[in-house]
Amino acid sequence: MRNVRVVTVGASNAGPKSNITPDRAELLLNVRTYDTAVRRRVIASIERIVRGECEAAGTPKEPTFEYFDQFPLTVNSEAVNDTITEAVQEATPATASDRGLSYEIFSCGSGIRSRS
């Protein structure tokens, strides 16, 4: 569970038109991990891949990296998670999944629980 990592490509922007070769590109990523060592490895891998692609493409400038919106991991209380899970299960009829409804409750401390 602690080795879980999620990298989301939020945006990829390059050039104003389809027929113009851009002089720069921007890739916005979101990285989520439970463990700071895993996070460091993911970020190092992203930087290595971007540098490799820039080198392969023969870009005249080195890529730059900017990091923002970094927050410490929230560890949920297992007791509170159990209370919320029970309340949602009671409030959600068993037929809800038949109508395409689902919910998920994530708890870092006790693993991932889901019902759909």
pLDDT tens, 31-66? 998 888 999 999 999 999 999 999 999 999 999 999
CA 55/CA 27 separation, integer angstroms: 16
Mean of pLDDT values over 13-31 = 91
pTM for this predicted structure? 0.63
How many residues in total does the chain contain? 116
Residue 90 has pLDDT above 90, yes or no: no
Mean of pLDDT values over 73-98 = 76
Which residues, in sequence order, are CB contacts of 100 under 8 Å at separation 6+? none
Residue 111 has pLDDT above 80, yes or no: no
Band (pLDDT 50/70/90 cuts) for residue 106 is: very low
